Structure 1
Amino acid sequence: MTEQTTEERPGIAAAIVVRDGAVLMVRRRVAEGQLSWQFPAGEIEQGESPEQAAVRETFEEVGMTVTALKLLGERVHPKTGRSMSYVACAVESGAPYVADEEELAEVTWVQHPQIPEYVPYGLFAPVQAYLDAALIR
């Protein structure tokens, strides 16, 4: 019997999409532990960069075309044990909707003061710093 380690599983790319003073969040149909609301995200495919995966996953999950701006940071997620890459993205076109009905239940724009209601356990520090700068004016 072989155990699967984090290294053998593909990493996850999360898109941090900001528009009009809010960040895009999605609610999964099946929560991963405490993770119900999160950023559009999915596995990085073979030969794909985290930035490419974040752009692709955003389109697949919520039907929006985005451009990757920069990689905000990487870590092993404390709740899931998965290798995570967080990518700041800008909206090119489209309005978000539940495009992947098997995975998602809901999509919403979250204002900065509301983030703790959606993510009560706190955000990864580089993501929080980016959102603090992008959403508070």
Structure 2
Amino acid sequence: MTEKTETKPPVSMAIITKGDRVLMVRRRQQEGKLLWAFPGGGIEVGETPEQAAVREVAEEVALEAKAIRVLGARVHPQTGADMTYVACEPVTGEARVEDEEELAEVAWITLEEIPVYVPWGLFGPVQDYLESALVVGR
């Protein structure tokens, strides 16, 4: 059996926080072990990771977001995709499933709930950011 190698496009993920919660989406199709993830998707030609994150948030969850800063990048251990994680804040709108072909559900979750949604843990810089950004106990 020969292995087929395919180049995956780079992906930008939006880490959107509000109060003591972060936005996650449940995809209709599981990618490797991934079912729940941050909103995001492929970076288009000529786009920065920040622009891609903001665009994908609008397309997927009907939320206008503002990119704050890039948190880090890596090759995702579950999917093999080049990932960039972008801290964002909501500007207007209410998060909901906008792209019904891709998404099944959205959820604002607490830091303590992350292991239920992502049992293998988050990328270190994302975890560190969430620990400092989420307003716990307010």
The TM-score, its normalising length taken from structure 1, stands at 0.94
| RMSD across aligned positions (CA) | 1.6
Which one-letter code corresponds to 1:34 in the other structure? K
Partner of 2:20: 21
SS at 1:99 equivalent: coil
1:30-71 Cα offsets, whole Å, 9 max, x none, are 111210000001000000000000000000000000000000
Q: Say if 1:70 and 1:88, in contact at 8 Å, map to a contact too.
A: yes
Partner of 2:38: 39
Q: Say if 2:19 and 2:135, in contact at 8 Å, map to a contact too.
A: no
1:62-118 Cα offsets, whole Å, 9 max, x none, are 000000000000000001000000000011000000000000000010011101111
The TM-score, its normalising length taken from structure 2, stands at 0.93
SS at 1:52 equivalent: helix
Matches within 5 A, 1:73-84: 73-84=72-83
Q: Closer, same or farther in 2 for the Cα pair 1:47/1:4, shift >3 Å?
A: farther
Partner of 1:85: 84
Structure 1's consecutive aligned runs of 4 or more residues displaced over 2 angstroms after TM superposition are none
Identity %: 54
Instruction: Work out the CA distance in 1 between the residues paired with 2:19 and 2:126.
Output: 17
**Structure 2 gaps, min length 5:** none
Deviation at 1:4, TM superposition (A): 4.3
